[in-house]
Structure formats: C-alpha cells, structure tokens
Chains A and B, each alone.
Chain A
Amino acid sequence: MTTSDHPADAATTDHAVDIDRHVRIYITVFVALMVLTIVTVTVSRLHLPVAMAVTVALIVAIIKGSLVACYFMHLISEKKLIYAVLALTGFFFIALMALPSFTVSDGYWMR
C-alpha cells in the first residue's frame, strides 16, 4: 500500500496539530461526565414521579452523550457530509421511536 505521506498531508488527515489543547478538553469533559453521572444517580434516589424522572434522566443522558459525541468523537469540528448523514439518521431514529408508540396508543389493540 502507499508509503508514508509527506508532512503536508498529515494536516489533511482528520485533525489539526494542536493536540495539547484537545487533551485539556478531554480531561475537562471527563470531569463533567463524572459529575453528571453522580447527578443522575443521586436524582434517581429521589424517586420522582415517572414523567419527571424520565425527563430529567433523558436530559442528563443527552448532555453526557453530546459531550462524548462532540469532544471524544470530534463531532464539533466534523465535516458537513458527516453531519448530513447523522441528521438523516436522527430523523429516522425519532420516527422509529415515536410512530410505533403513537400507532399502538391510537389503536384499539390495548383497549
């Protein structure tokens, strides 16, 4: 296969050269994730009513997930094509989550 490319190409591989700044971000995100984990477990012990418990848990999970996606997976600085694929996937993911439930609850099956 191709041998090692000349230095100019290292910059066109997926990330820029200021790795040190990235490493500091990784550590910050790690701390945030730990804190949020403790938060979500603590909140769960309050035994909130279901709707509220689900909402809070979901919000915390979305924040944690976004941190992992944006910073560990470098999504915050990804290319448009990747965003497009993920947006499309996200739309169908929501359809898959919502439509079966709406259909069953709107129907006569469970009554």
Chain B
Amino acid sequence: MSDQAVAGHVAHEVHHEELGFWRKYVFSTDHKVIGIQYAVTGLLFLLFGFALMMLMRWQLAYPGAALPLIGPLLGEARMPGGTMLPEFYNELGAMHGTIMVFLGVVPLAVGGFGNFVLPLQIGAPDMAFPRINMVSYWCLFLGGITMLGSFFVPGGAAQSGWTSYTPLAVIAGTGQTWWLIGMIFLITSSLLGALNFITTTIQLRAKGLTFMRFPFFCWAQFVTAFLLLLAFPPLEAAGVMQLMDRVAGTSFFMPSGLVVSGQALTNAGGGNPLLWQHLFWFLAHPEVYVLILPGMGIVAEIIANNTRKPLWGYRSMVYSLVFLGFMSFIVWAHHMFMTGMGTAMAAFFQTTTMIISIPSVVILTALIISLWGGSIRFNTPMLFATAFLPMFGIGGLTGLPLGLNIADIPLHDTYYVIAHFHYVVAPGTIFALMAGIYYWYPKATGRKMNETLGKIHFVGSLVCMNVIFMPMFIIGLAGVSRRLFDAGTAYAFAQPTMHWNVVSSWGAWIMALFQLPFIFNFFWSLRNGEAVGDNPWEATTIEWSAPSPPPHGNFLGVPQAYRGPYEYSVPGAPRDFVPQYEA
C-alpha cells in the first residue's frame, strides 16, 4: 500500500534523481511514507496489545483455569499446565498498558495521522525537518523492538504496571531495565516529532492560512505537540534515575530500611518513592491529553464534512483546546491523592482538575451541537465519529469523581478507574482513529474502503466496547481493586460482582472477531476498493486538493487558503461546499 502512496512520483520533478528502493520506501524522508510507517506500526502494536489483553481476560473470567490450545504454547515458565502464573498476569498487564499507550495510540494518532495529514492540510510540501522526521520513526521502531525483546529476557518483560512505581520497579527483573531503555527511545522519537510538528505548523502553512482558519485537526496536533515537547523530558530524567537505581545501585527512589523477602536491602537508602510518582505523572497526565486531542481533531473534521455545516463554536473550541493544553500540566497529582498528601495540595490539584473539565465539556458540547440541523451522511467515518461523542461523554463524566479528592478515596485503584480511562481511550480515541482511517484512506491510496464491511466493524465494535467496559464501573464501585491476578476471588465483597468478568471477557473475544472485517477491508480495498479522485468526500480542507495519493511534494500547484475551513452550505453558493483552497 505504501507503493501506491509513493508511486505517484509526478514527472515534473525533473531535477530530482530517482531514489533506490531503500531510500524511497524504508528510509524515506517523505512525510506520507513516514506517516504510513507510523500508522502501520501503531496498528500492529494495537493488535498485539489487544492480544495481551485477551489473554488477561481468560484469567479474569476463569481464574486458575487452564487455557486450551494457546496456554501450552506459552511455555511452562509462564503458563504451567496451561494455567496462568501471577507473574505472567502482571507482565501482560504492564505491557498491555505500555504498548497500547506508547506503541499503539500515540504512533497512530500523532505519528500516523499527524505526519500524513498535517502537511497536506496546511498546504505544505513536507515537514520542516524531513530527515529528523525519518529519525523519529526509527527511534520509535527501536523502542518497539526493545519492548518486544523484553518478553524474551530471563524473568520476562516489565511487570510493575505501565506506571513502573518504585521501589517495586527497582527490585523487579531484567525486563524492567529493557522497559526503561525502550522508553528512552520512544521519548526521543516523540520529542523529535513534536518540534517538527510545531515548526511545520507555524512556518510552512500556505499563504492565507491564518491560525483561525486552521482546520481543528491542525490545532489539535499543534497543542498535542507542545504537550509532548514539554511533558516528556521529566519522565526521561526519571527513567535515567530509575536505571541508575537498578543498575548503579543508587537510591533516588529507594527509602531507607527496605526489606525484601526477609532480607534487608544493602543500598544507601534515603530516597523517595513519591519522587518517581511526581515525575511520572508530570508526563503521564499531559500524555492522556496527547491520547485524546488528535482524536477530537479527527472527529471535528469528519463531523463538519458529513453534516455539510460549519462546526458550531469553532472559536470556543480553539480557545478551549489551548486552555486545556495549558492546564494539563498542573493537574497531575490527582493521580496521587492517596499518597498521604496534605489538604492544601489536595485542594489545589482538585481545583485545577475541576477547572480542566470545563474546556473538555466545551469541545464535546460544540461537537454535539454541530450535528443539529445538519444534512447528515451516515458513512462509516461518520458512524465512528458520532459514536465517539457519547463514549467520550461517559468517559469524561466518570472522571469527575476521580478528580475530587474525597470521592477518589473509595474509587482509587479500582476497576472504576479502568472503566473510566478505557471509555475515553477505547470507544473514545480508538473509534476516532478508526473514523480517521476510513476517512483518509482514499487520500492515501486512491480507493475507498468497503462500506458494508465498515458498518459491520462499527456496530460490532460499539456494542462490544460497552459490553466490556460498562460492567467495570459496577465492579469498581463494589470496591474490587485493579491489577488483581485472581480478579477478586480472595475477597468476599467481590463475589457478588465476579460474574461480570465473564461478561467483559466474552465482550473482548467477540470484539476481536469484529476486527476481522476491518483488517480484511484494509488490505482488500487496496486493490479492489472503489477508485476515487481528489475529493471523494466533497470536503473543504486543503488536503483534498492534492491528488489521491499525493505525489512527492504533495500539490500540483502552490496551495493558498482563501477562506475558513468549514464553508459548507453557504447560501448562494453553487455547490453545498466552498473549498478553503479555491479562489
């Protein structure tokens, strides 16, 4: 499929010498090739992370039961007699989270969609720093290989949660060291990408494309890039310090007097486990906005296009987005309410957290109101984009009690939290990313994906997502902790809700089946999808003025913006849309 994307090498670039296979498809500096590399990598890791979760769900539904067929394949060290060891469960949990967040969603949402669409949408020939762009992808690749490789080291992959809390992570096996090294590659990739996105957005936008004429998607990627740029470095520093604790025997995060398995540790002590938490969450809170913002951007584009109406409240949405990005840096300790925080700081973080819910609500409300009075076309991208709205609504609203320090007390580290964040990321962001794939696939390949298969994919996924995650609110409210290997078997209060685990698990396994039409569709449509021209969706933004797929350099002329991004159904216009790029 990358052949189709790049093979449109237009002949007018006469002075450009023909690149060999490796420079054109593997070590390419073309943002479209790099975007596809990121997207495919992200999708593969999403699938792998999904597989890890499906294994976990067996243990949660049928604790202690042997897994037929697959169990024995995973080896005696992890699944003796086909039954899961607690260590393996922890490995699956830590790596599911790590892979989904850092190797799945971010590479797809930012690396994939950002790289492919952003330059096209602003009318640029490429990113500002094409070679740095290429390096950023290969850093991600190395990080991914490191994370995958960690499964094969003695003791297995990281097992201390995606949050790698100390001191547990410091005394953990070798896999944790690989996790830390992998994170350093991934963080480097994001930092390089972020400075590229920001520079490109500011400098390479077309003539006439002022900031307030940007498609909302561009604003979303722009703010996301700032979050990545400024929030990741503290985690990199923390990662180096945890590596020092593990490898050089320092005690940054190791308090004095620790005893492990009856043996007192011989390190110097005097460290502070909370220091790790502060540095980790300083990144990880903005990170969750990195996970959602590109999705909001994608949904905004698709809703405007398929309602044939301008977005309602564009200006409010933009200001909210910028304010949200800013606030996201000063809410992080709401993840730490249970660490012995005093009332003054708890009040501070509770307040900033409540404040940050406002811009999210503004954006969601504007998107919902944008549907009102629209001539809605229910194609597959629109179905996923519309479903995003209530799903993100549920995820967002259920976050409110978690942000209030008193209400958080019974909910912290329970399944309620898991349900909350999965609602925002899974039927939230991932639905938005699916919408984006169906929407921009024609631009990247020159063909549309099959609508029937798309609708099957959509309905199955929507139902299954809710079957999986809604029960988790119930389990969490009953007090069942997260990360329990036996799903709560050992606790009397958990017994009335245990059956919900079976429901969630079957939801997950059936959801896997509903991804098959999507995977098939993705590859089948490359050759057999309906062939389309430049603008199959009759959209207004600049990327639709480029050929499908765009050649090296993107545009046949020099694009210019003459108006705002959503001039749909303009009274008196000959068609129901007036493109941003038409004079």
Q: Which residues of A contact B (CB under 8 A)?
A: 81, 88-89, 92, 95-96, 99-100, 102-104, 106-109
* Residue among A81, A89, A95, A107 making CB contact with B345, cutoff 8 Å: A107
Q: How far is the CB of B167 from chain A (nearest CB, A)?
A: 14
Q: In the complex, are the beta carbons of B275 and A107 less than 8 A apart?
A: no
Q: Which 9 A-B pairs have the closest CB atoms?
A: A106-B342, A100-B278, A108-B340, A103-B345, A106-B345, A109-B340, A107-B340, A107-B341, A107-B342
Q: In the complex, are the beta carbons of A104 and B272 less than 8 A apart?
A: yes
* Residue among A81, A89, A95, A108 making CB contact with B342, cutoff 8 Å: A108
Q: How far is the CB of B166 from chain A (nearest CB, A)?
A: 14
Chain A contacts for B330, CB-based, 8 A? 95, 99
Q: In the complex, are the beta carbons of A103 and B234 less than 8 A apart?
A: no
Chain A contacts for B339, CB-based, 8 A? 107, 109
Q: How far is the CB of A82 from chain B (nearest CB, A)?
A: 11
Interface size class of B (residues with CB under 8 A): 20 to 34
Q: In the complex, are the beta carbons of B341 and A92 less than 8 A apart?
A: no
Q: In the complex, are the beta carbons of B333 and A99 less than 8 A apart?
A: yes
Q: How far is the CA of A99 from the CA of B202 in the complex (A)?
A: 32
Give the dominant DSSP class at B's interface. helix
Q: How far is the CA of A103 from the CA of B341 in the complex (A)?
A: 6
Q: How far is the CB of A74 from chain B (nearest CB, A)?
A: 19
Q: How far is the CA of A92 from the CA of B272 in the complex (A)?
A: 22
Q: In the complex, are the beta carbons of B230 and A81 less than 8 A apart?
A: no
Q: Is B282 interfacial (CB 8 A cutoff)? A: yes
Q: How far is the CA of A103 from the CA of B326 in the complex (A)?
A: 20
Give the dominant DSSP class at A's interface. helix
Q: Is B512 interfacial (CB 8 A cutoff)? A: no
Residue of A at shortest CB range from B325? A88
Q: A88-B230, A106-B341 are in contact. Are A95 and B329 (CB under 8 A)?
A: yes
Q: Is B344 interfacial (CB 8 A cutoff)? A: yes
Q: Is B274 interfacial (CB 8 A cutoff)? A: yes
Chain B contacts for A96, CB-based, 8 A? 234, 282
A-B contact pairs, 12 of them (CB 8 A): A92-B230, A96-B234, A96-B282, A99-B345, A100-B274, A100-B278, A102-B345, A103-B278, A103-B333, A103-B345, A107-B342, A109-B274
Chain B 213-254 near chain A by CB (<8 Å), digits 1 or 0:
000000000000010001000100000000000000000000
Q: In the complex, are the beta carbons of B275 and A100 less than 8 A apart?
A: yes
Chain B contacts for A104, CB-based, 8 A? 272, 274
| CB-contacts of B257-296 with A (<8 A) | 272, 274-275, 278-279, 282
Chain B contacts for A89, CB-based, 8 A? 230
